[in-house]
Amino acid sequence: MRAAVVHGPGDLRVDELPDPQPGPGEVVVAMEWGGICGSDLAYWRHGASGTAVLRHPLVLGHEVAGRVAALGSGVTGHEVGEPVTVHPATLVGDGELPARIAGRTNLWPQVRYFGSAAFDPHTDGGFSGLRAVRADQLRRLPDGVDTLRGSLAEPLAVALHAVSRAGDLRGRDVVVNGAGPIGSLVVAAAVHAGAASVTACDVSSAALGVARAMGAADVRDLSAGDDLPPDAELVFEASGAAAALGGVLRATARGGTVVQVGNLPGSAVQAVLGDLVTRELTWIGSYRFVEEIDDALTAMRDGLDVAPVVTHRFALADAARAMEVAGDRSTGSSKVLLRLDGGDLS
């Protein structure tokens, strides 16, 4: 089979690898679509994502969907040909979480994740023709949700988790700062959760066009001199840009809430944070998701259309070019997908 493998900074290859066989309790999935995420771009650009440093070649990709191709011994409840996506997390080690965070498995001390170099050996991802997966990681796609949309379930789950961190959104006016793929999915998730209105803010007019297509009632082009809406009671900060924090905190209403869903740098940065205290704001972190991937599939089944976030599609053979497009905002890219099985790109 072929796979998109990062060997080092700037070194992405489409390698030929052995076909996997399912072990006990596993299935082999024939992958069809995969979405490029910021962590994939980080490994490709820098050979690292946060504190996870590339030590060996790594198959990228954790936003994937395909069809069951083979069943290992002991697997029940699945059948060959079944369309699925994958929950990419595996908890490492025994034990239990403290009572105060019981059930919040996204906060487990050590987690193996598809396409991650956090452990050695690394955990290969799903940008490959085939991938052996534990059966409990599979999520069957509902009727009406094809594998292209199924590959969006993982990032939509991230957005749904962020929205859940803010509590009940019904009737509330919401601001989303940063309209990249996650920010635009937060827009869709907030609308789906019953927000009265959603305003998206970004420095890219193309990104704002995607956010509007995802349900934003208003957009603000910060590069054209627009300001963040003032006195916003609830803001989702999805840019992950430390330099944006001062403006975001100043725009948040006194006593308001900021949900930080954009990944902030893991190293020292300069940021203006004084308004966090003087405006008595609540600043909430949001990290990955728990089981919201199930909620994402249900939402798509019930009519939430997230397809507008997809701006580009490439064959697996063109994975390097796909990474270039995904990493260059001047291309107008939002979510860039790879067709992993050689099928039609339409």
Cα gap 192→68, rounded to integer Å: 30
- 294 falls within a domain: no
User: Are 140 and 174 found together in one domain?
Assistant: no
- 77 falls within a domain: yes
Amino acid at 21: Q
Cα gap 66→150, rounded to integer Å: 8
- 292 falls within a domain: no
For residue 254, what is the domain's CATH number? Answer: 3.40.50.720
User: Are 108 and 164 found together in one domain?
Assistant: no
Cα gap 121→266, rounded to integer Å: 23
Cα 19 → chain centroid: 27
Amino acid at 60: L
- 187 falls within a domain: yes
The answer to whether 52 touches 116, Cβ cutoff 8 Å, is yes
- 109 falls within a domain: yes
Q: How long a stretch of residues is the chain?
A: 346
User: Are 62 and 114 found together in one domain?
Assistant: yes
Cα gap 65→127, rounded to integer Å: 10
- Which two three-digit tokens encode residue 321? 């070019």
Backbone angles phi, psi at 38, to 5 degrees: -60, -35
For residue 125, what is the domain's CATH number? Answer: 3.90.180.10
Q: Which range marks the domain in which residue 225 is found?
A: 158-285
Q: How many CB atoms lie within 10 A of CB 227?
A: 11
User: Are 206 and 105 found together in one domain?
Assistant: no
User: Are 7 and 59 found together in one domain?
Assistant: yes
User: Are 139 and 63 found together in one domain?
Assistant: yes
User: Are 73 and 129 found together in one domain?
Assistant: yes
- Which two three-digit tokens encode residue 110? 């050590």
User: Are 144 and 20 found together in one domain?
Assistant: yes
- Which two three-digit tokens encode residue 96? 């239990």
- 346 falls within a domain: no
- Is this structure's pTM higher than 0.85? yes
- Which two three-digit tokens encode residue 209? 């066009």
User: Are 95 and 147 found together in one domain?
Assistant: yes
- 76 falls within a domain: yes
User: Are 53 and 37 found together in one domain?
Assistant: yes
What pLDDT is attached to residue 154? 98
pLDDT by 10s per residue, the chain, length 346: 999 999 999 999 999 999 999 999 999 999 999 999 999 999 999 999 989 999 999 999 999 999 999 999 999 999 999 999 999 999 999 989 999 999 999 999 999 999 999 999 999 999 999 999 999 999 999 999 999 999 999 999 999 999 999 999 999 999 999 999 999 999 999 999 999 999 999 999 999 999 999 999 999 999 999 999 999 999 999 999 999 999 999 999 999 999 999 999 888 889 999 999 999 999 999 999 999 999 999 999 999 999 999 999 999 999 999 999 999 999 999 999 999 999 999 8
User: Are 19 and 139 found together in one domain?
Assistant: yes
Of 190, 151, 152, 155, the residue nearest 170 (C-alpha): 190
- 10 falls within a domain: yes
Report the number of distinct structural domains present in the chain: 2
